[in-house]
Amino acid sequence: MGDPRRRVPRTDVLLTHPRLAEAERVLGRTLVKSVIAHAQQRARAGEIEPEQVAEHAVAALPATAASLRPVINATGVVVHTNLGRAPLSQAALEAVTTAGRATDVEFDLATGRRAKRGRGALAALAAEVPEAGGVHVVNNNAAALLLTALVLAPGKEIVISRGELVEIGDGFRIPELLESTGARLREVGTTNRTSLRDYTTAIGGETGFVLKVHPSNFQVTGFTSAVGIRELAKLDVPLVVDIGSGLLRPHPVLPGEPDATTALREGADLVTASGDKLLGGPQAGLLLGEAGLVERLRRHPAARALRVDKLTLAALEATLVGPPPPVEKALTADPAELRARAERIAARLPGARAVDCSAAVGGGGAPGVELPSAGVSLPETCAAPLRTGDPPVVGRLEAGRCVLDLRTVAPEEDELLVAAVLACSS
């Protein structure tokens, strides 16, 4: 008998297969050829018959040309950093699709002349926080702090409490970020206690600004004290407040979480925040404050390197003016309704039961806050098959069980969740 590897179809022949030809049109030649090559290699290794190469190549085609896969977040962490933080609203997703084409992002259709970039998103942000005399958007909150230091403290000191020298994730630390601009940090107080006198003693001719950072991803309890914004605002230097998680106004579910509106009312000259956390929008750094100061930030040369693209601007505007985003819906979900959903889902799944549980805000916001929730408890052995299924479902392990917390699962995902569990248990 001849070598069966000689029967493996050639790439050019496989590219004429109707499904593969259509995939080449949608996904691109390079991606489709890589899928074909993998199927051919499996045939040469004897894993599949040569006549099955086209079939297996078609089955292995991804839904899109990107490698990212949609995931059902059943972890109970509302803003899950490893799962992309805030899921966008349908309005924001549609806005991104529109922005992906040629748009009037910097063009006035009425006059035929250049227009201000991102004017719609900036107007929407200003409308949400009227207390801000000016607003600007950069690509994340770290960029907002970087730009602030470049403008207000080149070669100068930034006065900051030792209890607010936070690490923001993946090994990046605010002190190192700020010092990379050429500014010097003047640390005051101790890890657990800082007084107004500590600040007044440190402020002098070399002070660029005072920075107050919300330690949003940890808590220090016990013998502690910190200086509030109202007191710091009386000092004769600019006051920058990093609220971190992006809450623009007070939230009934998170009364202890700082927000931009309150910080500005209490005297902050500038507030920085994230757009992809509690705001529920795309990754962005928000700068809100005194109009002249914001304009200085906007005109600094580094602002060009830190600017956001049209996709982010579109998603941010739609998040601000559109319906409540998924993050807001998850935060305000009724525990009784979550329990009812859990009971309906559990009744359809073998070995499942509805349970009460606690969800978390996540994303470095509201540490220690527990959100009463409900979920579906499954055998622990379901966790891995669910993660590798289609669609992937990511839950959490708790007391030897796999818990799917419904606070972070949209109601319209319930049927997908049921199907995923049934598929991995069959």
Q: What is the CATH number of the domain that holds 413?
A: 3.90.1150.180
What is the full DSSP assignment across 374-392? EEEEEEGGGHHHHHTSSS-
Radius of gyration of the chain (CA): 26
What's the number of CA atoms in the CB half-sphere (13 Å) around residue 260? 30
Query: What are 188-205's pLDDT values in tens digits?
Result: 988 788 999 999 999 999
Do 250 and 318 have their domain in common?
yes
User: In the chain, pLDDT over 90 holds for what percent of residues?
Assistant: 82
pTM for the model: 0.88
Q: So what's the pLDDT on residue 174? A: 85
Query: What are 78-94's pLDDT values in tens digits?
Result: 999 999 999 999 999 99
Ramachandran angles phi, psi of 203, nearest 5°: -75, 135
Burial per residue of 83-122, b for 16 or more beta-carbon CB atoms within 10 angstroms, e otherwise = bebbbbbebbeebbeebeeeeebeeeeeeeeeeebbebbb
Do 212 and 349 have their domain in common?
no
Q: How many other C-beta atoms are found inside a 10 Å radius of the C-beta of residue 171?
A: 7
With respect to residue 223, please indicate whether it lies within any of the assigned structural domains: yes
Query: What are 53-72's pLDDT values in tens digits?
Result: 999 999 998 877 777 889 99
Region 104-125: mean pLDDT is 96
16, 9 contact by CB (below 8 A):
no
Do 118 and 244 have their domain in common?
yes
With respect to residue 252, please indicate whether it lies within any of the assigned structural domains: yes
| 322 phi-psi bin (left φ>0, alpha ψ -120 to 50, beta other) | beta
Do 316 and 177 have their domain in common?
yes
Supply the mean pLDDT for the chain: 93
275, 307 contact by CB (below 8 A):
no
Q: How many other C-beta atoms are found inside a 10 Å radius of the C-beta of residue 190?
A: 14
Do 162 and 181 have their domain in common?
yes
Do 168 and 299 have their domain in common?
yes
Q: So what's the pLDDT on residue 309? A: 96
312, 318 contact by CB (below 8 A):
no
With respect to residue 65, please indicate whether it lies within any of the assigned structural domains: no
Do 79 and 156 have their domain in common?
no
H or E element, residue 414: helix 414-425
Q: What is the CATH number of the domain that holds 94?
A: 3.40.640.10
Do 343 and 291 have their domain in common?
no
Q: So what's the pLDDT on residue 366? A: 79
Domain finish residue from 296, 323, 350? 323
Residue 8 banded pLDDT, cuts 50, 70, 90:
very high
With respect to residue 64, please indicate whether it lies within any of the assigned structural domains: no
Q: Report the 3 state secondary structure along 180-216.
A: CCCCEEEEECCCCECCHHHHHHHCCCCEEEEEEECCC
The residues that bridge with 402 in the sheet, in sequence order, are 378, 397
Q: So what's the pLDDT on residue 142? A: 93
Do 342 and 223 have their domain in common?
no
Q: So what's the pLDDT on residue 63? A: 79
Query: What are 243-280's pLDDT values in tens digits?
Result: 988 899 999 999 989 999 999 999 999 999 999 999 99
Do 284 and 241 have their domain in common?
yes
Calculate ∠ Cα 315-316-321, nearest 5°: 100
H or E element, residue 294: helix 291-299
Q: Check residues 86 and 3 and name the one with the higher pLDDT.
A: 86
User: Which structural domain, as residue segments, surrounds residue 375?
Assistant: 72-84+328-425
Query: Which DSSP letter does residue 6 get?
Result: G
Do 117 and 30 have their domain in common?
no
Do 108 and 242 have their domain in common?
yes
With respect to residue 403, please indicate whether it lies within any of the assigned structural domains: yes
Q: Please state which of the ranges 19-33, 213-227, 246-260, 387-401 shows the lowest mean pLDDT.
A: 213-227
Q: So what's the pLDDT on residue 209? A: 97
With respect to residue 67, please indicate whether it lies within any of the assigned structural domains: no
Domain finish residue from 261, 292, 323? 323
Residue 10 has pLDDT above 60, yes or no: yes
Torsion of CA 339, 89, 66, 104, to 10 degrees: 180
Domain finish residue from 302, 323, 344? 323
Residue 219 banded pLDDT, cuts 50, 70, 90:
low
Q: So what's the pLDDT on residue 245? A: 86
Q: Number of structural domains, the chain? A: 3
Residue 218 has pLDDT above 70, yes or no: no
Q: So what's the pLDDT on residue 265? A: 98
Region 105-119: mean pLDDT is 95
